[in-house]
Amino acid sequence: MSEEYVPPKVWTWDQGNGGKFANINRPIAGPTHDKELPVGKHPLQLYSLATPNGVKVTVMLEELLALGHTGAEYDAWLINIGEGDQFGSGFVDVNPNSKIPALMDHSTETPTRIFESASIMVYLAEKFGEFLPTEPAARTETMSWLFWLMGSAPYLGGGFGHFYAYAPEKFEYAINRFAMEAKRQMDVLDRRLAESEYLGGSEYSIADMATWPWYGSLAQGVLYDAGEFLQVEEYKNVQRWTKQIAERPAVIRGRKVNRPFGPLEDQLHERHDASDFDTKTQDKIEAAKE
């Protein structure tokens, strides 16, 4: 066991703590450098990366487009958080919290900034009148599950994922604590999905779109490579829901947007037009062959 840590009287910032994100984590907010954000031709400008939090929004935009809402056309710009793009002055103006996803809506009288993935989803749901029921009981249930996700996912990502996959050492206490919580959360979802087709009720909604990139990926065994460790196959109803959502064409497209990692056929670094899914992905595959 490593030597016992005794916290000093005053905490100080150890810049090289060895964790995977030590180079981007800071105890202060605000920009580190001046950098304007690009603005494309569509009213909606998304600045993001295909992490689970980013995928929530690109799936939603693709779902809106699939329903024929042309006003949901968007430019998606890549924010490379490993390179510190989230600390550029233009990005901080859109999200003072320096985290993806961040959205600008240029169709309003003065441009509207929206940050926090759930806030973006509610904004889009209300703007286009989709994926959030208006009947009070159904709306409340949907919002409850959306807020459940926003409160729960940090335990999965910042807790379980951090200590299981990213921390410089394997700390048994931390892994046990957060594995227990991750499994408890999967059981919460499994029980809900035993009684209801989707999280909010009988309709697919923003609660599912927000939850699937986290707990669906965990159920598929792709998040933190933890499928066997957490025995995710046991959660039969989560498995059913995960597969059902994974097959949606808008989900297949949305997952690819702003993805600079993983298999080439799943990567679309920037998205400015629906045709980008065919042409740019194909270009990349051809270029890799040369």
Ligand X SMILES: N[C@@H](CCC(=O)N[C@@H](CS)C(=O)NCC(=O)O)C(=O)O
Binding site for ligand X (CB under 6 A): 24, 51, 53, 81, 86, 98-101, 116-117
Q: How far is the CB of 117 from ligand X (least distance, A)?
A: 4
Q: How far is the CB of 114 from ligand X (least distance, A)?
A: 10
Locate all alpha helices (DSSP H) within 7-135, ordered by sequence.
52-66, 89-94, 117-128
Length of the chain: 290
Task: Give the CA distances from residue 23 to residues 16, 195, 220, in Å, rounded to whole numbers and listed in that order.
Answer: 7, 44, 29
Sign of the four-CA dihedral 194, 195, 201, 202: positive
Residue 17 burial by Cβ neighbours in a 10 Å radius (0-12, 13-18, 19+): exposed
Between 81 and 175, CB nearer to ligand X: 81
Between 117 and 242, CB nearer to ligand X: 117
Q: How far is the CB of 9 from ligand X (least distance, A)?
A: 28
Between 30 and 249, CB nearer to ligand X: 30
Query: How far, in Å, CA of 155 to CA of 182, rounded?
Result: 7
Q: How far is the CB of 24 from ligand X (least distance, A)?
A: 5
Between 86 and 258, CB nearer to ligand X: 86
